[in-house]
Chains A and B, each alone.
Chain A
């Protein structure tokens, strides 16, 4: 019997992270089942004026290739997407991405709140939101929006985080479904894979 209450109607996984999240992200991406049924949409804080390198670093160990999508690119199963540097990345109705160069949000561009919030709007209760280690409050509001729209919310166990400001911000704003270590997040992803295989 699983400790998680999951179903097989999710449409996407969205992940936010900042300082101290690289290791956790890498672990999750490297241990995904090859049949993982959902697109993974990531918004990670990154250097604003370094366009190259990050996606390559994430791809090294990832089971699926990681890409920085183009504006209006369709979101597909098997896609692992990373918000590009110096752009906000939104999910639009119709299941595609849109980029923008609007003002920074929470001192960040890309801002996690924007990616999470727009994904929550589009996918409603069919979304899984994960927020990892980070040194500012970006993502907290986005997690609340996911929860408010009926999605499943997960934050990294604060004691495991290099910097726990980000998951704690989410915990303060809404009732998070699961507070998990990265290894447990990996187990949850594997369970989701099994649910879709049936």
Chain B
């Protein structure tokens, strides 16, 4: 078993992935990136050298590699107070000026937040007025998100979050259970477009009224956070909103002064300057 990885070896891996596959992990936060690589060597029973060899020689391995490398731990209605603020303050604020609008879930992973948003919009009676864009770098996880299928054993936590969100019904009303899995009502996702998109390398593809990117940029260093936040700023309409994780902050980024704090506790920002 690999015990630890030198920074030099991590650099070899990121350079290889960049030059061969065009994904740029060179500005990822070091300690979590190292843990992900260690985890892959453990799961696949590889040494560092054999991992590098495999990445060099088997292009088909890259999707599997990306799937394990990216962190796909997420919950429905994570931080219920955040979702209450969305429902009671932010989305009503958007509705004041727009009957229809766009939401971008950047780094949507297995789609739990997309489902949460769709349920929220449905309960507000406006699901059909909103276009959702859900993007991720990892094509395997996008397939999972599209399927809206989750392990039943994870639903306890999601149900508890939903109750604390003070939803109108029961989370159970939105899915059916089959063989230890739950499948959400496909109608929830009729207005959702899933697409592969790389926040680091990718171009801006749409203008939005609300961007959710919670606990994604924590895996980036500050240089990269800064770059990605510029893209978010550009992707927002003026007076559009950006929501980040509860332990993330815009304070030190270049575009900070073009945003206003809309809700400090839940880390929602409003674009006020182009």
Interface residues of A (CB under 8 A from B): 49, 51, 68-72, 84, 86-88, 90-93, 98-103, 114, 118, 121
User: How many whole Å from B165's CB to the nearest CB in chain A?
Assistant: 12
The residue in chain A whose Cβ has the minimal distance to the Cβ of B71 is A102
| Range, interface on chain B | 20 to 34
Query: Are B248 and A71 in contact, with the CB atoms below 8 A?
Result: yes
Interface residues of B (CB under 8 A from A): 29-32, 35-36, 71, 73-74, 78-79, 81, 160-161, 164, 215, 217-219, 221-222, 225, 245-249, 251-252
Query: Are B31 and A71 in contact, with the CB atoms below 8 A?
Result: no
Query: Are B32 and A100 in contact, with the CB atoms below 8 A?
Result: yes
Residues of B near A93 (CB, < 8 A) are 30
> Given known contacts A49-B161, A51-B79, is B73 in contact with A103 (CB within 8 Å)?
yes
Expressed in whole angstroms, the Cα–Cα distance for A69 and B246 within the complex equals 11
Expressed in whole angstroms, the Cα–Cα distance for A120 and B263 within the complex equals 36
User: How many whole Å from B72's CB to the nearest CB in chain A?
Assistant: 9
> Given known contacts A71-B248, A98-B32, A101-B71, is B160 in contact with A49 (CB within 8 Å)?
yes
With most chain A CB atoms within 10 A of its CB, the pick from B29, B215, B248 is B29
Main secondary structure on chain A at its contact with chain B?
loop
> Given known contacts A49-B160, A71-B248, A72-B225, is B31 in contact with A101 (CB within 8 Å)?
no
User: How many whole Å from A129's CB to the nearest CB in chain B?
Assistant: 17
Residues of B near A92 (CB, < 8 A) are 29-31
User: How many whole Å from B151's CB to the nearest CB in chain A?
Assistant: 14
> Given known contacts A49-B160, A71-B249, is B215 in contact with A101 (CB within 8 Å)?
yes
Q: Can you pick out 30 interface pairs between chain A and chain B where the beta carbons lie within 8 Å of each other? A: A51-B246, A69-B247, A70-B249, A70-B251, A71-B217, A71-B218, A71-B248, A72-B29, A72-B222, A84-B246, A87-B218, A87-B247, A90-B29, A92-B31, A98-B32, A98-B218, A99-B215, A99-B218, A99-B247, A99-B248, A100-B29, A100-B32, A101-B71, A101-B74, A101-B218, A101-B245, A102-B35, A103-B71, A114-B35, A118-B31
Partner of A70, one of B32, B35, B36, B248: B248
Residues of A near B217 (CB, < 8 A) are 71
